[in-house]
Amino acid sequence: MALVVRSSHLKRIAVLTSGGDSPGLNACLRAIVRTALTHHLEIFGIRRGFKGLISGDLIPLDGRSVSGVINRGGTFLLTARDKEFRTGKGIKKACLVLAKHRMGGLIVLGGNGSLQGAWELSQKTSTAVMGVPKSIDNDVGGTDFSIGFDTAVNTAVEVIDRIRDTATSHERLFLVETMGRKRGFLALATAIAGGAESVLLPELSSDIPSLCRKLAEAKRHGKVSSIVVVAEGDESGGAFKIAKRIQRSAKGYDVRVSVIGHQQRGGAPSAFDRILASQFGTAAVEALIRGERTKLVGIQGGKLTLSPLESAWKIEKPLDPNLLRLSEILSS
């Protein structure tokens, strides 16, 4: 284990969760608290994200605060989105709270928007700010994986496994809509793991007539049911709009739609997410101890990394071309 050299001025840090929830947040909070205590730091939790930071809703945390939380979904600190924080007045209030409580460091668990807010705060405060990526969409730059993505994929695949049973029994075509307004990482991974016949993604043009021809060809070869995964942000619209287009173009199909929705945000985190979240939490605290600031903890190529916090929203991760090719091959 690498030697951690403590920054002499760091005595007290805080942590908050902001934006949409994702499985694994509690595991990360647990790691942050226990790592801070191991290094004899005071640790405070900020309830309800930046909204709680502005109002000064801070609570002291200790070992008992995170007992029995590693397997729980959601976040025990609660989370919220706050418009006031996006204003200069709101950021000023947040800075005053951090100064009042003499916070040497602040760890923000968030997605693109929350991490951008963390960066904006870091430009106005002397408190060192660290970002930890969490997103079931896995669209945060500077990291291969975000907390919650793996669990969300597993949840969606479990739903597809169940839907396939009824699709086969009734010889139906099901369109299964996953979350992903702007990016298709979740839909693509779900489609491959769920054995879908096709996947429609926001990043790629959707050729509905070609999809209908593909489905018809499969039917001629004896396929009695099909699953098509649709990211909610696909350019052709959500699953319901696409279902109507398919129904008009591909005669003889009994089309059904299933929207997985917020189920993907909840539930016990997978083992992968628990381990990833624990690694991120410990890495964030120890980076603050070393004197790092305005950085994003991530994992790239299997190794923990520290990137500029701006990487979270300035770097646009591409879809893996190998996974796209694999999806085509396996759905043929």
Looking at the chain, list the stretches that DSSP marks H as alpha helix, in order from N- to C-terminal side: 25-38, 49-55, 88-100, 112-122, 149-170, 185-194, 208-220, 239-249, 271-289, 311-314, 321-330
Instruction: Give percent above pLDDT 90 in the chain.
Output: 80
Question: Are 124 and 211 members of one domain?
Answer: no
Alpha carbon of 115 to those of 34, 122, 262, 294, 313: distances in Å?
23, 10, 22, 10, 8
Buried-exposed string 67-85: b where 16+ CB fall within 10 A, e elsewhere: eebbebbbbbbbbebbeeb
Look at residue 331 and tell me if it is in a domain. no
Does residue 195 sit within a domain? yes
Q: Is 329 among the domain residues?
A: no
Pair 129, 24 in one domain: yes
Q: How far apart are CA 78 and CA 313, in angstroms?
A: 23
The CATH number that applies at residue 80 is: 3.40.50.450
- Same-domain check for residues 199 and 257: yes
pLDDT: which is higher, 118 or 226: 118
Do 171 and 224 touch, CB atoms closer than 8 A? yes
The Cα–Cα gap between 58 and 129 comes to 17
Locate 328 and state its tokens. Answer: 């085509």
How far is the C-alpha of 185 from the C-alpha of 164, rounded, in Å?
A: 22
User: Given CA atoms 3, 129, 114, 68 in this order, what sign does their dihedral have?
Assistant: positive
Strand order in the sheet with 255-259: 198-200, 226-231, 173-178, 255-259
What tens digit of pLDDT does each residue of 229-245 get?
A: 999 988 887 899 999 88
- What amino acid positions are annotated as catalytic residues? 137
> CA 242 to CA 209: how far, in whole Å?
11
Residue type, 171: E
Domains of the chain: total? 2
Does some domain include residue 116?
Answer: yes
* pTM for the model: 0.93
CB 131 within 8 A of CB 308: no
Q: Domain check: are 65 and 175 in the same one?
A: no
**Residue 2, in any domain of the structure:** no
* Residues 138 and 287 placed together within one structural domain of the fold: yes
Give the pLDDT confidence of 154-213 residue by residue, as tens digits.
Answer: 999 999 999 999 988 888 899 999 999 899 999 999 999 999 999 999 999 888 989 988
Query: Are residues 57 and 164 both part of a single domain?
Result: no
Contact between 225 and 208 under an 8 Å Cβ cutoff? The reply is no
Note the pLDDT tens digit of each residue in 53-112. 999 999 999 999 999 999 999 999 999 888 899 899 999 999 999 999 999 999 999 999
Domain that holds residue 32: 12-148+269-314
CATH number at residue 177: 3.40.50.460
Question: What is the pLDDT confidence band of residue 4, given thresholds at 50, 70 and 90?
Answer: low
307 and 252: one domain?
Answer: no
Same domain, 121 and 235: no
Q: Other CB atoms closer than 10 Å to residue 197's CB: what's the count?
A: 20
Q: β-strand 303-308 against 255-259: which pairing, if any?
A: unpaired
Domain end marker among 234, 262, 290:
262
- Mention every residue, 6+ apart, whose C-beta is less than 8 A from residue 290: 4, 5, 6, 7
Residues 134 and 273 both lie in one domain: yes
Task: Retrieve residue 189's tokens.
Answer: 């991974």
Q: What is the DSSP string of 153-203?
A: HHHHHHHHHHHHHHHHHHT-EEEEEES-SS--HHHHHHHHHHT-SEEE-TT
3 within some domain: no
Is 320 a member of any domain? no
**Do 128 and 174 lie in a common domain?**
no
Residue 190 and residue 263 in contact, taking contact as beta carbons nearer than 8 Å: no
Let me know if residue 319 belongs to a domain: no
pLDDT attached to residue 321:
96
pLDDT, position 3: 54
Look up tokens 């602040």; give the residue. Answer: 106
